[in-house]
Structure formats: C-alpha cells, structure tokens
C-alpha cells in the first residue's frame, strides 16, 4: 500500500513474505499513547466515542497521536492483498464427473450415486436378526424403505424418542435448539406415502438430517444459538442448501445446537445448554457445529449440515469420531 510522503521521509518497504526468515523475526511492541480511564471518566469517554460527531474526531486524534496514518501511508507492501482464498483455473481431473449446477437436485444426487460402489445389503442385514436403526448410513435407509423393512414414519418415532431421551439425561444433552415432534411426523408421513406409491424422490428420500442453527430452514427460526438474533432477522425461506435437500425428500429433524454465533471451538452454550460428546458426556464435542456432530455421533441421523469458517465442522467431527467435510471455497452456495 503506497501513499503520499508528506514528511519527506523515504517510504518503508516491507520484505516479500517468501524472503522473510520467520525464525529471526522479533516482535517489538510499539509505544502507544492512550488515555487511562476508569469509572465515571470511562463512561463519559464511551459516550463521546459513540457520538456521531465527536466519536470520529476523537478516533482520528488518537490515530494521529500514535502515527498510524503516517505508518500506513509510508509502508509499501510488495504483494497485492488477497481477500478470498481463490485458486487459479486448473486442468480438469481425469475420472471426475461434473454435476451441473442448474439441474434438479434429485438428478444430481442420482448421478453422484453412480460413482459409488454397488450397495451390499448383507453387510447391514441378515435374516436372523433385526438391526436397530442407529448408525444406519444413507443407503441403509434407502434399502430398508424400498424393501419394506421399515418406513420413514416408523424411524421418525425412534428419532423423536432418542432426542427426548438425550434431553432428559442427567446432565441433559440439548443437541437441538428447535425441535417439533409433530412436524417431524408430518414430514415422515409424506415420505412414507411416496414409498407406498412407489415414487420416492431420490436416495435421500426419508433420510433424517439436522440443520445447524445458523442456517435458514423455514419455518424454523435461525437464532445462531443466541436469545435475540431471530428477533432482528426473520426466516422467510430455506437456505439454498436446505432447499435442495428438501427437493430430494430429506426429513429435517430441527435446528441443531452450536457455539453462540459460531464464535468458539468448544460448543459450550450458556443459552440452551451444551451439546456434550455422546461418547463421553463429560467432554466437549468441539465447535462451533457441536449439535450436528453430536447428533451424527449419537446415531440419531446419518448426516447433519454445519458451517465451517475456521474449523467449525472439522473440529467437532474429529472430537466425536465422525467424518466432517468442508467444501472448497466458493463450491457451496452460501445464500441463507
């Protein structure tokens, strides 16, 4: 960043990052001039800073006292700033199947399914035993529904009972912030009728999915695990990722707990309680996608949707012993 050199001093040029010897770098704390305030003087200073007229003036004065404008104007940074983690165009990889963005979600899922190995029911089921639904994978549900082993409505009752059991534990396990048993039953009933008529939408039809509380899933509120956010921002429609899942027949079990506003890596939440690690309830799940990780780790659903800006999917996945997948930047439509 360059600028005018009003003082007549030569600009300070920073060394390109690839030429910097990190081991030799020593941070020197600059001497800053700032008022030392407590009590009434601090409250008065805050009032002045929040004033639309005096606030910017005081801020400008403090910056000038500490030579911040001069430091910025007289420093040359050799690299252009990179605001987004983008990569240059690359040659197409061999064996990669492109699933066009503008096609119906069910068609895209069908094409993706063709890339997987054939499903072998004998791995999950045998004629002698009745397998509980916990830890079923997506294709286990698809096979069970199409074979008449069970129905989405029957599984819904197990999911509802499981959520209520976890909520009533001592200490409780609030994996969901918003949970409506009647709504789950209604979604499952519609899915069950599609299977009875022989018209399932996709392999995801009847699969139970939890949505992190900072993702819009109409008509549920999006609180971001706060007590106020839904009061200043209402949910009018599904997020793009949720809308696409809904078009595939997914059953949403509710809004999953999380670290408040996603600003933490533990999942500790003072507003709705902490989603504990199902494998060891005296331990954290990690965060901020703590609820989604806890739900999948407990076996109540095969998949959950979270968000990850700095590890918020990958951290709880690793601590809970499940697979967490963060898509490449720009791959997922973030609307909603």
Positions annotated as catalytic residues are 212, 288, 312
Q: ∠ CA 313-96-109 to the nearest 5 degrees?
A: 60
Helix axis angle for 240-247 and 105-113, nearest 10°, is 70
- Calculate ∠ Cα 279-283-287, nearest 5°: 100
Paired sense of beta strands 276-277 and 280-284, if any: antiparallel
The tokens describing 220, both together, are 């549920």
| Region class of 42: left (phi > 0), else alpha (psi between -120 and 50), else beta | alpha
Radius of gyration of the chain (CA): 26
Whether 72 and 3 have beta carbons less than 8 Å apart is answered as: yes
Torsion 217-292-240-119 (CA) sign: negative
Whether the CB-CB separation of 249 and 224 falls below 8 Å is answered with no
Largest CA distance in the chain: 89
């Amino acid at each position: 960043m360059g600028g005018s050199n009003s003082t007549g001093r030569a600009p300070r040029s920073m060394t390109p990052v690839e030429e910097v010897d990190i081991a030799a770098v020593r941070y020197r704390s600059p001497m800053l001039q700032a008022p030392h305030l407590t009590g009434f003087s601090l409250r008065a200073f805050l009032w002045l800073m929040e004033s639309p007229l005096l606030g910017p003036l005081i801020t400008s004065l403090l910056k000038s006292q500490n030579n911040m404008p001069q430091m910025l104007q007289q420093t040359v940074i050799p690299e252009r700033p990179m605001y987004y983690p983008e990569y240059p165009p690359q040659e197409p990889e061999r064996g990669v199947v492109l699933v066009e963005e503008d096609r119906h979600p069910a068609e895209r899922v069908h094409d993706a399914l063709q890339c997987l190995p054939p499903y072998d029911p004998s791995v999950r089921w045998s004629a002698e035993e009745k397998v509980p639904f916990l830890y079923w994978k997506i294709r286990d549900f698809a096979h069970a529904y199409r074979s008449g082993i069970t129905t989405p409505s029957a599984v819904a009752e197990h999911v509802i009972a499981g959520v209520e059991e976890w909520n009533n534990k001592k200490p409780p396990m609030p994996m969901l912030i918003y949970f409506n048993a009647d709504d789950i039953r209604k979604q499952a009933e519609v899915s069950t009728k599609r299977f009875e008529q022989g018209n399932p939408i996709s392999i995801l039809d009847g699969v139970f999915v939890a949505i992190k509380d900072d993702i819009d899933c109409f008509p549920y509120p999006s609180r971001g695990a706060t007590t106020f956010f839904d009061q200043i921002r209402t949910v009018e429609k599904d997020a793009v990722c949720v809308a696409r899942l809904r078009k595939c027949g997914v059953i949403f079990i509710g809004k999953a707990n999380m670290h408040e506003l996603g600003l933490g890596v533990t999942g500790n939440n003072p507003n709705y309680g902490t989603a504990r690690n199902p494998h060891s309830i005296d331990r954290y799940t990690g965060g901020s996608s703590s609820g989604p990780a806890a739900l999948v780790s407990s076996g109540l659903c095969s998949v959950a949707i979270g968000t990850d800006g700095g590890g918020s999917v990958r951290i709880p996945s690793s601590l809970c012993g499940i697979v967490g997948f963060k898509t490449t930047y720009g791959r997922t439509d973030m609307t909603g």
